[in-house]
A and B are shown apart, each in its own frame.
Chain A
Amino acid sequence: MSNNNLSSADKTAARYYYPENVSVKERQFSLLVGTGMALWGLLNGGLKNKSMLLPLGAYLLKRGATGQCAVYRLAGRSTASADVQSHVVIEKSITISRSLADTYAFWRNIAQLPQYLHFIETAVPLNETKTSWKLNTTIPLPLHRAWTIELTREQAPTLIVFHALPSSNLELRGSLRFSELPNDRGTEVKLTIAYAPRGGDLARNIAELNKAAVAQGVKDEMMRLKQVMEAGEISTTRGQPQGPDMAADSQNGVVYRPGNGVGSL
């Protein structure tokens, strides 16, 4: 993001800017404990009984969400990684038992991909390089639904580089690399994406904390495409029979639960 189009949230953040000094693990712990303490404080009299739990919980929540700890700052201590990156980076690679040419052609045919994916509903090509994407509304992330993705570089059949246009609330760039393995072992597909929410430190920090879940989601999407290419379909147990759920049975009569799809265990 260039400086001249800072959002108001960014400007506010800049005014009170302190470097992050808390590690990701500690931040997750702070969020967890802070939530617990704050809830406990609220449920047990709130501010009335002058419990320290509520303010302490609030402090831990802020510490977890922002990665900044005033106590550490005063003590001159930091557990944050020295090279804090501005973007969350996810790298995933899979191997597909198909030729390089087939694999590239399949992944490059963007408009047909959403029928196999969970997170993306449609991808409509606007011109040679731009595609309009609509995300699935069920994604549990605060993202805009409509995106425009632009291919910035293409070297068929080995490389695709892309980024999201600024209309989205996420700054995103990425690449897909395809490489053929020797002796008919198929093709390696490596996806790298780097993203940062537009909306300041808080949003970025939340994104960092969600990284593992997003990475798994990305891997699952890649697995779906692999399955389509290798097996012609995506394995599923959706809608299969299952005995009545005893817990549900006692309240609502017989309830049959759906099976699992890729990654929805």
Chain B
Amino acid sequence: MKALCWYGKEDVRVETVPDPTLTNPRDAIVKVTTTCICGSDLHLYNGVIPSMEQGDILGHEFMGEVVEVGTEVQNLKVGDRVVVPFTIACGGCFFCQRGLWSLCDNSNPNAAAAEQLYGSSGSGLFGYSHMFGGYAGGQAEYARVPFADVGPMKVPDGITDDQAVFLTDIFPTGYMAAENCDIQQGDTVAVWGCGPVGQFAIRSAFMLGADKVIAIDDVPERLSLAQAGGAETLNFRLVKDIVGVIKDMTGGRGADATIEAVGMEAHGTGIMATVDRVKHNLKLQTDRPTALREAIQACRKGGTVSIPGVYSGFIDHVPFGAAFGKGLTLKMGQTHVQRYLAPLMERIVNGQIDPSFIITHRMSLQEAPNGYRIFREKQDDCIKVVLHP
């Protein structure tokens, strides 16, 4: 089959590789009909995630048709159309049983490596480095899906791939980010980063009762899309004092909750952003927390900072004193995708949201390397690339 493989920084290629096979009794093989390039794939593309190997197949947002099932998979049959969560989870451990699917104890075959870095390992992830399991991803014609009896969800007739595919990651990720804010009627939520996760966070915040959403980015088309979703927008290239402006917009209080949907490769402006970039390039810190600092400073006393943006290592000069002094709640982590599949599918079926609003580019798998490039460079007003193998 054809698959998109990683070969190093800014080097991804479509290669011919063997087809995946059933390995464990709870596996299924899915013929991929739609897959996407995620913002977090750009961290891999930029070479900032450790433990990648040449030839690794990327892609953790994919859906398709079941073509083979293992002996223990009773709930799926050949021909079913399914969306596949990017988090791989066994369903039987302490964490899965409590709905903390992305913290599954048993799905990362390389848990020891993650334990050395983090103390404990989270779940395995598709196509996201060997530290997170080294599973071959879904930017391919076929993918092996472990624990297929608890992960994938069947897609109802009448729902298109374009509407369903974002349930694999970014819709639940944006939704969980908003849910983590514990939004009360009348709340103002500020969202850093208007990429796909930020866009879903904005719309989810409104669905969960937010009165006002303030969205921060510097890419005009992303800001327009945020505006279309109902947000008031701030361009951080034009507005230098983001924290001050947010306080002005909230009667001096600060946002009731802030969502940091940027992560470890924040751009930002100002002295600290430059210091971050220099330190990052010198490998003195692994992650650049520019957006996180602002999200802490701009949050009101007793508010919540919700962090769906990906961090992998160490960060400097995080205003922890501010977080403590204001009694903030910090919530973060990989999305427990399995928890959100059914309720969010229901919102799609009810017509409350059509996630396909995010798509700006459609390509064949063969064109994926170009898709990575234009997505990274934000060329051609690119917000979300969807691939059809």
Interface residues as binary, B13-42 with A (CB distance below 8 Å gives 1, 0 otherwise):
101011111011110000000000000000
> At the interface, yes or no: B109 with Cβ under 8 Å from chain A?
yes
State whether B111 touches A223 (Cβ < 8 A).
Answer: yes
Q: A235-B109, A260-B130, A261-B109 are in contact. Are A243 and B23 (CB under 8 A)?
A: no
Partner of A232, one of B20, B23, B72, B133: B72
State whether B92 touches A232 (Cβ < 8 A).
Answer: yes
Partner of A243, one of B17, B91, B146: B17
Q: A246-B7, A265-B113 are in contact. Are A231 and B92 (CB under 8 A)?
A: yes
Name the segment of B51-59, B330-338, B370-378, B379-387 touching the other chain.
Answer: B51-59
Residues of A within 8 A of B51 (CB): 265
> At the interface, yes or no: A19 with Cβ under 8 Å from chain B?
no
Residues of B within 8 A of A219 (CB): 112
| Nearest-neighbor residue (CB-CB) of A223 within chain B | B111
For chain A, residues 81 to 99, give those with C-beta under 8 angstroms from any C-beta of chain B: 95, 97
Residues of B within 8 A of A95 (CB): 94
State whether B92 touches A230 (Cβ < 8 A).
Answer: yes
| Nearest-neighbor residue (CB-CB) of A98 within chain B | B92
State whether B109 touches A237 (Cβ < 8 A).
Answer: yes
Q: How far is the CA of A259 from the CA of B147 in the complex (A)?
A: 17
State whether B106 touches A231 (Cβ < 8 A).
Answer: yes
Q: How far is the CA of A261 from the CA of B144 in the complex (A)?
A: 16
Partner of A265, one of B18, B106, B130, B147: B130
State whether B17 touches A260 (Cβ < 8 A).
Answer: no
Interface residues as binary, B44-71 with A (CB distance below 8 Å gives 1, 0 otherwise):
0000000101111100000000000000
State whether A241 touches B24 (Cβ < 8 A).
Answer: no
Interface residues as binary, A88-131 with B (CB distance below 8 Å gives 1, 0 otherwise):
00000001010000000000000000000000000000000000
Q: How far is the CA of A256 from the CA of B111 in the complex (A)?
A: 23
Interface residues as binary, A207-227 with B (CB distance below 8 Å gives 1, 0 otherwise):
000000000100110010011
> At the interface, yes or no: A239 with Cβ under 8 Å from chain B?
yes
State whether B21 touches A235 (Cβ < 8 A).
Answer: no
| Nearest-neighbor residue (CB-CB) of A241 within chain B | B17
What is the minimal beta-carbon distance from A263 to any residue of chain B, in angstroms? 5
Residues of B within 8 A of A243 (CB): 3, 5-7, 13, 15, 17, 54-57
> At the interface, yes or no: B107 with Cβ under 8 Å from chain A?
yes
State whether B136 touches A242 (Cβ < 8 A).
Answer: yes
Q: A226-B106, A241-B19, A265-B112 are in contact. Are A231 and B94 (CB under 8 A)?
A: no
State whether B55 touches A245 (Cβ < 8 A).
Answer: yes
Name, among A186, A235, A236, the residue most crowded by chain B CB atoms within 10 Å (CB to CB): A235
Residues of A within 8 A of B130 (CB): 260, 265
| Nearest-neighbor residue (CB-CB) of A219 within chain B | B112
> At the interface, yes or no: A233 with Cβ under 8 Å from chain B?
yes
| Nearest-neighbor residue (CB-CB) of A246 within chain B | B54
Q: How many A-B residue pairs have CB under 8 A?
A: 122
> At the interface, yes or no: B254 with Cβ under 8 Å from chain A?
no
> At the interface, yes or no: B250 with Cβ under 8 Å from chain A?
no
State whether B26 touches A226 (Cβ < 8 A).
Answer: no
Residues of B within 8 A of A25 (CB): none
Residues of A within 8 A of B17 (CB): 241-244, 256
> At the interface, yes or no: B108 with Cβ under 8 Å from chain A?
yes
Q: How far is the CA of A223 from the CA of B94 in the complex (A)?
A: 14
Q: How far is the CA of A256 from the CA of B147 in the complex (A)?
A: 24
> At the interface, yes or no: B110 with Cβ under 8 Å from chain A?
yes
> At the interface, yes or no: B105 with Cβ under 8 Å from chain A?
yes
Name, among B25, B57, B94, the residue most crowded by chain A CB atoms within 10 Å (CB to CB): B94
Partner of A242, one of B5, B88, B110: B5
Q: A265-B110, A265-B112, A265-B113 are in contact. Are A235 and B136 (CB under 8 A)?
A: no
Residues of A within 8 A of B111 (CB): 223, 262
State whether A227 touches B106 (Cβ < 8 A).
Answer: yes
Q: A186-B94, A216-B112 are in contact. Are A226 and B54 (CB under 8 A)?
A: no
> At the interface, yes or no: A185 with Cβ under 8 Å from chain B?
yes
Q: How far is the CA of A185 from the CA of B140 in the complex (A)?
A: 39
State whether A262 touches B109 (Cβ < 8 A).
Answer: yes
Q: How far is the CA of A172 from the CA of B13 in the complex (A)?
A: 52
> At the interface, yes or no: A238 with Cβ under 8 Å from chain B?
yes
Residues of A within 8 A of B92 (CB): 97, 230-232
State whether B24 touches A233 (Cβ < 8 A).
Answer: yes
Given contacts A234-B24, A241-B18, A265-B110, 14 further A-B contacts (CB under 8 A): A95-B94, A186-B94, A219-B112, A231-B93, A231-B147, A233-B24, A235-B124, A237-B133, A241-B17, A246-B7, A246-B54, A257-B55, A259-B109, A259-B134
Pairs across A and B, CB under 8 Å, 27 listed: A97-B94, A185-B94, A216-B112, A230-B93, A230-B105, A231-B92, A231-B93, A231-B106, A232-B26, A233-B24, A233-B26, A235-B109, A235-B133, A236-B109, A237-B135, A237-B136, A240-B20, A241-B140, A243-B3, A243-B6, A243-B17, A244-B17, A247-B54, A260-B134, A262-B111, A265-B51, A265-B134
The 7 lowest CB-CB distance pairs between A and B, nearest first, are A243-B5, A243-B55, A231-B90, A241-B17, A230-B92, A243-B15, A242-B55
